[in-house]
Amino acid sequence: MTGPAVVIVGAGATGLTLAGELALAGIEVTVVERRPNQDVVGQRALGFSSRTIEVFDQRGIADRFLSQGKLAQINGFGQIRLDISDFPTRHNYGLALPQQRIESILADWVGELGVPIRREVEVTGFTQDETGVDVDLSEGGPLRAQYLVGCDGGRSLVRKTAGIAFPGWEASTSSLIAEVELDEEPVWGIRRLGAGVQALSRPQPGGPVRVLVTEPYAGQSGEPTLRDLSEALMGVFGTDYGLRSATWISRFTDMARQAAAYRNRRVLLAGDAAHVHAPIGGQGLGVGVQDAVNLGWKLAQEVRGTAPEGLLDTYHTERHPVAARVLQNTMAQGALTGTGDRLEALRDIMAGLLSLDEPRKQIAGMMSGLDIHYDLGAGHPLLGRRMPDLDLVTPDGPLRVFTLLHAARPVLLNLGEPGTLPIAPWSDRVRSVDAAYAGPWELPVLGPVPAPEAVLIRPDGYVAWVGGPSRTGLADALTRWFGPPSAADEDAQAAASLRTISS
């Protein structure tokens, strides 16, 4: 029984992004997907925010999404709009793009990278031991892999079979979102009626109507039907406006749950398999994509046998608090979308507060994902935060920082005297670049920060080390994230140093 190094269950945005990350790292990966194609998808996600655009830009594929979507200030908190056009990022906006198109673009990308997707096949179970995982499939025989990653949604079979707890809060409301044909002209717009927010719009002139409507009660299960949608419209508006057909219908609730652990030995979780929450604020797809980008390079090192001890555990350590914060803010936003005079008063106060610069920046930084800060220790404000996409001057000409990350490799960026950061013992794993940058250093929410002389950038775009004149701690950071130095290169570097001393 043989198979790839990694099996990913689920070809949604999270699973496809992870597959691409592993393929870029040279890891053999197979995706197992029960759907026949990306067209069979409920349109729960309708776009993503700034940091997710940056993540795709780091891999050189952002333009594929930007060319098919609509740029807009889509950030909000409880239906209160938040403008990020003054944020210091190349992508100070969000992107409106249906989930079907997002997944199709990602599927094309991983296809170009040679990743096989086994469609109309389901994982029925698995067992793991000290060296790998035996994955049982609905057809085609079992697969043996070193690792299994569940990107199979909120009802994740992988999570349940691994015995990982999924604590949280049950649903208090249930809503339907759909694209439909109506015989009657509805009352257009977004309103807070009944138990929550209701909306009817026509995104394209002459196209189908987009409907968001609250169901009479929470707790429904299974695939929603046209009858369910009609009853929900009747319950809120007193009419279904002559509803006659639907292109698609999806159901979502405000249930909020998070996996107690993102890893059980050789089984890992990402995306909705690890955390579910209400879609308000449009964070879900982006959080899953960023899970994948955090996990991919760490899992690749583990497969290659070059990972330092404990590296794979930092996936849970770093990403679990990010999703916990999303659960918290979606529950808070859900409370703000309720109806009644008391909640209207609260909304008015929140709207006034978020019209002020500092509160707006704090909340917009959280909602956009641009303020994420991994706890990598004390030091420079850049440490543990996203590396800005600076316009650099290099010996090979002008270059953007994100261009250096297209290959999903770590980068040591030397902005001081060229040639003063020798890293020969890690040169097989880390790319070293001498460059100059004369512009400002500014981070979303934090504002201006001191200019560093050097930075070590992880493949996910977060800063793992910041250097001053002494370069203190560089070897420790390289070892912590990318493994011990190569003995052969270390000996060669020592010999070169002796020759320099002798001369």
What is the C-alpha to C-alpha distance for residues 273 and 275, in angstroms, rounded to an integer? 6
- Structural domain includes residue 285: yes
Which own/partner contact pairs does 354-357 have at CB distance under 8 Å and 24+ positions apart? Answer: 354/77, 354/80, 354/82
- Structural domain includes residue 1: no
pLDDT over 90, % of the chain: 74
- Structural domain includes residue 375: no
Q: Are residues 319 and 349 in the same domain?
A: yes
Residue 494 has pLDDT above 50, yes or no: no
Residue 490 has pLDDT above 70, yes or no: no
Q: Are residues 131 and 30 in the same domain?
A: yes
**Which pTM does this prediction carry?**
0.92
- Give the amino acid at 55: V
**CA neighbor of 390 nearest in space, from 452, 446, 470, 445:** 452
- Structural domain includes residue 279: yes
Q: Which structural domain, as residue segments, surrounds residue 218?
A: 173-253
What would you report as the CA-atom Rg of the chain, rounded to the nearest whole angstrom?
24
More confident residue, 41 or 500: 41
Predicted pLDDT of residue 502: 30
Q: Are residues 194 and 296 in the same domain?
A: no
- Structural domain includes residue 54: yes
The pLDDT tens digits of the residues spanning 247-264 come to 888 888 889 999 999 999
CATH of the domain at 449: 3.40.30.120
The pLDDT tens digits of the residues spanning 128-172 come to 999 999 999 999 889 999 999 999 999 999 999 999 999 999 988
Residue 468 has pLDDT above 80, yes or no: no
Q: DSSP strand E in 138-227: where?
A: 143-145, 147-150, 168-169, 174-182, 189-193, 196-201, 209-214
CATH of the domain at 248: 3.30.70.2450
- Structural domain includes residue 374: no
- Give the amino acid at 249: I
Q: How many domains does the chain have?
A: 3
Reduced to 3 states (helix: H, G, I; strand: E, B; else coil), residue 133 is strand
Q: Are residues 200 and 95 in the same domain?
A: no
Q: Are residues 26 and 54 in the same domain?
A: yes
Predicted pLDDT of residue 140: 84
Q: DSSP strand E in 97-169: where?
A: 117-119, 123-128, 133-137, 143-145, 147-150, 168-169
Q: Are residues 96 and 41 in the same domain?
A: yes
Q: Are residues 63 and 49 in the same domain?
A: yes
Helix axis angle, 313-336 to 357-368, nearest 10°: 130
The pLDDT tens digits of the residues spanning 398-444 come to 999 999 999 999 999 999 888 888 788 999 999 999 999 999 999 99
Q: Are residues 33 and 118 in the same domain?
A: yes
What is the C-alpha to C-alpha distance for residues 291 and 303, in angstroms, rounded to an integer? 18
Query: Hey, how many other C-beta atoms are within 10 angstroms of the C-beta on 353?
Result: 13
Q: Are residues 39 and 75 in the same domain?
A: yes
Q: Are residues 261 and 249 in the same domain?
A: no
- Structural domain includes residue 189: yes
Question: Which of 224, 253, 282 is the last residue before a domain boundary?
Answer: 253
- Structural domain includes residue 468: yes
Q: Are residues 22 and 82 in the same domain?
A: yes
Residue 221 has pLDDT above 80, yes or no: no
Q: Are residues 331 and 410 in the same domain?
A: no
CATH of the domain at 82: 3.50.50.60
Residue 469 has pLDDT above 70, yes or no: no
